[in-house]
Structure formats: C-alpha cells, structure tokens
C-alpha cells in the first residue's frame, strides 16, 4: 500500500516572524509562526517546515524559541532548516523540539557533514535541501541536459547556495545522488526558477531527481493553486508537496487542498 | 499524579515527546540520564530518535536496573528505535540489544519502495485485546520515520501491523511492555489517544 502523499506548509522565518519571498528576494511580513503552526496543524497539515532565512547569530537564538513554542502546540512532525553548519547547531535545534533538521549550504561545503549527522541522529532526521536553478550556459558542471518541446535552448540544473545567491557549478541531479549515498533521509527540492511565481512546480526537475535518487522527495517552489499539487503528484514520484503563499494568504486552505487531491485519486490522509 | 520518565540517550527529540505527554495528561514528566531511581516513576519511555549503537551504549550501564523494573511490572513504552532496542540485535549496529524481547531488527528492503519509510501509513490492528490501541479504529493514520523494523520470534505480541512493500509490526504489546514503530507524539489525534492509553496503564499500576 503506498503512503499518503504529504502536504507540507512551509514557514520562512526571519527574526521570529513568518515571511514569504518571491524568487528568494523581496520579503513580505506575513505573521506569527506559532499561530500559523497551530492553524495548519488543525487544518490537517501532514508536516511543517520552518526555514530560518536570516540565520544570523541573533536570529538563531530567536529561532530556538520559536521551535520550542511550536513544539508545544503541535502534534505533527516538523523540520527546521537554515544556517545549520555543525553537529551542535543540529543538536540545538533537535533538542528545542524539531523532529528533523534540514541542511543546505553546509552540506555542499562539507558533504561529510551528512555522514556525521546521520551517524549520531539517524538518517531519518537529516533532510538535505537542494536549491536548483536552470543554467542555460554549458560552462562546465552540467552533466544532465534537458530541453522541452516548447523551449529553445537546452539547460541543466545547477545547485545554488547561500539562499540561492551563489552558484556552485554542481549538477543538481548528481548532487542528489551523492547526498542519498551519503545517507540523507529526505531531499527538499526547491526550484529557484519556480519559487514565488505561483505558476506550478518544476515538473522536469522533480521528475528527473525522483528517477535518479530513490529517497523521499519533497517538491518545493511554484505552488499557487491546488491543481499544481495534483500536477506534481500525477506527473512525478515526489512524496510530498510543499507550499507557502497559497496557505499564508488564504487563497486556499489545507483541508480544501486535501479534499481536492483525494477527489482526484491521490492517496491523502484526511 | 502520574510520573513518567523519558530516558535520554543524547540524540533524541525529547522536547516534543515531553510536550505531547503533558498535553495528554501526564502531570510530571522527567528526563532521566540513568535508571537508578526508576521505582519513583509510574512509567518509562525509551524515545525514538537516534542510532542503534550510540543509544545502546548509553542504555547498557542501566541494563540490569531496566530489566528489574520491567519484571516488577513497570509500564514501558519504546518508540521506534526505543522499541528496536528491546530486541536481540539490529542490522543498524554491532552491539547487542536489550534482549527483553526475542527477535531481530532488520533493514527495510529497498526494492519497490523508498527508504526511509517516512510518512503517514495505516494501522491494521491484529490483536483483539490491546490496552495501547483501545478506541483506535482499523486503518487509522499514524506517522512513521524509520529504516529498520522488528521481527519478533513470537508473532502474537504484534498488536498492529502496517504495510510498506512488506508487512511491518507497528505496535508491540506484551504485558507491561509496549512498543510503536511509528511516532505517537507526531501522529495527531490518533497518536494522542495512544499516549493517553499508555498514561492510563501507568496510572493504574500505582
């Protein structure tokens, strides 16, 4: 029997407040993380993800408090990412009440960190976040090229770090295979191109990673309507779909999205 | 006043487990690092995040005390890894398990499904009389996060199963020993009921 597909609201947190960016920039204030967590949990969210997008030293302390307050009120799993560089950072967040930690830039800089973390905490609580962007230049690094019928130029997916600001020259498909072999329990796959556009998930990216890395994949970036979730579940093998603005600005609610998906034949926990 | 102890082996997410116990009626929840004074408590929980060998290393010095308490009918709930540790040995590590229950811990086969088994799955209740699952309906959703599963020698201790390519024992119940492969503290209302059932067993023992 297949598992239920998970619907995961994501809360980008900046200095203790929930915010949502467009294309990883232009930040808008959207509210209190604990209120959001409580609301989403009651509406039937399968999991929550918090990304600490500032990750300054001061922001990190604030984040630990946010994590504690959230863990007090919800009874579904939640993941925290953003600025986790060391074993101590991960332990701090886990002991504040998170179930999983997500690492991104730190894993690219030091892939062995994945092994270190999984050997202590178990692979199931280590999520590797990959931020990928289409790169149309064949300037080295690209190993897997794509071109859809309606697109003129071929491209590859490049891993970007520091919140999308810096390219790495690493092919995201190869990186996903590597993090899986290093023991990552899950991959949170964000398309920078799609993020904040509300035009739908990057199906090409999600499909490609699912086909090459047999590890649970959370699709992220681009969800603006329930139809986008149906699209990514029908056309790729992702296990979960993450969204932020669709829920934050109450364009739809989690229970409505789940009803819609269930009606359309997706296995959903209701 | 139900007093519950959670054993800390250094890697577990104890905060949310503690919060879940408190939300569901435990008056006092203590996080303990050794098992010298187990008789002070009404129930013990072995939590469920970590890796087999490091966790066994921290439990090892307390093994005798733990076994004595269990024989003295102390209600015990092992969650995920905490349940796996009750068995003889695990494919995740080299160290021996607690050997309180007969059987081994095996790695989930990675043929048709993705590993770890992460997400919400259905419970198929296989035991008629179960204290832990009282009031829980068949097919209820619970949250799993694991790569290993238990294979008990005595199948009658399996109170509920789940299917993920293979059949996985999801709940173990043998007298005062309880175990869940999933995380009740993360399983919404269903998990809350299971926690309240365990606390009920602990309250009765006093």
Partner B contacted by A3 (CB < 8 A): yes
Say whether residue B117 is in contact with chain A using an 8 A CB cutoff.
yes
A69 inside 8 A of chain B by CB: no
pLDDT band of B120, cuts 50, 70, 90: very high
Tell me the nearest-neighbour CA distance from B48 into chain A, angstroms: 10
What is residue A20's predicted lDDT score, i.e. its pLDDT?
A: 65
Is residue A270 situated within a structural domain? no
Domain contains A213: yes
Is the CB of A76 less than 8 angstroms away from the CB of B143? yes
pLDDT surpasses 60 at B148: yes
Domain assignment of residue A59, yes or no: yes
Residues in B 26-55 with any Cβ partner in A closer than 8 A: 49-51, 54
A266 contacts on B by Cβ (under 8 Å): none
Is A254 part of any domain? yes
For residue A253, give its domain range.
6-263
The pTM (predicted TM-score) of the whole model is: 0.90
Any B CB within 8 A of A77 CB: yes
- Confidence at B13, pLDDT banded by 50, 70, 90: low
Which domains does chain B show, CATH number per domain?
3-205 (3.40.50.880)
Q: Which A residues, 119 through 178, put their C-beta within 8 Å of a C-beta on chain B?
A: 119-125
How far is the alpha carbon of B72 from chain A, nearest alpha carbon, in Å? 31
Q: Is A240 on the interface with B (CB under 8 A)?
A: yes
Give the mean pLDDT of A176-190.
96
Number of domains in chain A: 1
Contacts of B121 in chain A (CB under 8 A): 1, 3-4
Residues A73-125: pLDDT tens digits?
A: 999 999 999 888 888 999 889 888 898 999 999 999 999 999 999 888 878 88
Q: Please indicate whether, in this complex, the C-beta atoms of A239 and B119 are within 8 angstroms of each other.
A: yes
For residue B60, the tally of other CB atoms under 10 A from its CB is: 12
**Residue B104: both structure tokens together:** 């081994």
> Can you spell out the DSSP letters for A36-97?
HHHHHHHHT-S-EEEEESS--HHHHHHHHHHHHHHHHH--S-EEEESS--SHHHHHHHHHHT
Peptide bond into B152 cis (omega under 30): no
Residue B19: list chain A partners with CB under 8 A.
71-72, 97
Tell me which chain B residues have a C-beta less than 8 angstroms from the C-beta of A118.
51
Are the Cβ atoms of B118 and A216 closer than 8 angstroms?
yes
The Cα-based distances of B183 to A106, A115, A131, A186, B174 in angstroms read 28, 24, 29, 17, 19
| pLDDT digits 0-9 by tens, B42-91 | 999 999 877 899 899 999 999 999 999 999 999 999 999 999 999 999 99
Smallest CA–CA separation between B22 and chain A, in Å? 9
CATH at residue A192: 3.20.20.70
Classify the phi-psi angles of B141: left when phi > 0, otherwise alpha if psi is within -120 to 50, otherwise beta: beta
């Amino acid at each position: 029997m297949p598992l239920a597909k998970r619907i995961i609201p994501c809360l980008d947190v900046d200095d203790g407040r929930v915010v949502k960016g467009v294309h990883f920039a232009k930040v808008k204030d959207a509210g209190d993380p604990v209120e959001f967590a409580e609301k989403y949990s009651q509406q039937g969210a399968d999991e929550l993800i918090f990304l600490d997008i500032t990750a300054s030293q001061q922001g990190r302390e604030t984040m630990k408090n946010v994590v504690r307050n959230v863990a007090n009120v919800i009874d579904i799993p939640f993941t925290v990412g953003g600025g986790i560089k060391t074993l101590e950072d991960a332990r701090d967040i886990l002991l504040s009440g998170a179930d999983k930690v997500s690492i991104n830039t730190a894993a690219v800089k030091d892939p062995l960190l994945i092994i270190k973390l999984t050997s202590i905490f178990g692979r199931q609580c280590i999520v590797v976040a990959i931020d990928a962007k289409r790169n149309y230049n064949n300037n080295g690094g690209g190993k897997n090229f794509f071109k859809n019928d309606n697109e003129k130029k071929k491209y590859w997916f490049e891993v970007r770090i520091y919140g999308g600001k810096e390219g790495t020259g690493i092919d995201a498909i190869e990186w996903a295979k590597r993090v899986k072999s290093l023991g990552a329990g899950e991959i949170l796959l964000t398309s920078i191109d799609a993020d904040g556009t509300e035009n739908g998930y990057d199906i090409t990216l999600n499909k490609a990673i699912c086909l090459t890395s047999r590890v649970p994949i959370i699709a992220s970036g681009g969800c603006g309507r329930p139809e986008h979730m149906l699209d990514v579940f029908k056309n790729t093998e992702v296990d979960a779909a993450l969204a932020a603005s669709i829920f934050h600005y109450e364009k739809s609610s989690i229970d409505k999205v789940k009803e819609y998906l269930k009606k359309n034949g997706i296995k959903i926990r209701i | 006043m139900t007093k519950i102890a959670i054993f800390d082996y250094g890697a577990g997410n104890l905060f949310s487990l503690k919060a879940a116990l408190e939300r569901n009626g435990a008056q006092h929840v203590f996080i303990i690092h050794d098992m010298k004074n187990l008789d002070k408590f009404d129930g013990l929980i072995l939590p469920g995040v970590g890796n087999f060998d490091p966790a066994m290393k921290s439990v090892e010095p307390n093994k005798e005390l733990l076994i004595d308490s269990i024989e003295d009918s102390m209600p015990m709930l092992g969650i995920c890894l905490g349940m796996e540790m009750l068995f003889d040995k695990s494919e995740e590590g080299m160290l021996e398990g607690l050997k309180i229950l007969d059987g081994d811990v095996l790695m989930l086969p990675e043929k048709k499904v993705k590993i770890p088994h992460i997400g919400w799955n259905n419970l198929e209740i296989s035991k008629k009389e179960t204290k832990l699952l009282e009031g829980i309906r068949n097919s209820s959703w619970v949250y799993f996060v694991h790569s290993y599963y238990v294979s008990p020698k005595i199948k009658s201790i399996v109170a509920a199963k789940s299917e993920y390519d293979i059949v996985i024992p999801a709940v173990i119940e043998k007298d005062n020993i309880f175990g869940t492969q999933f995380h009740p503290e993360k399983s919404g209302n269903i998990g809350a009921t299971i926690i309240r059932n365990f606390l009920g067993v602990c309250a009765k023992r006093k």
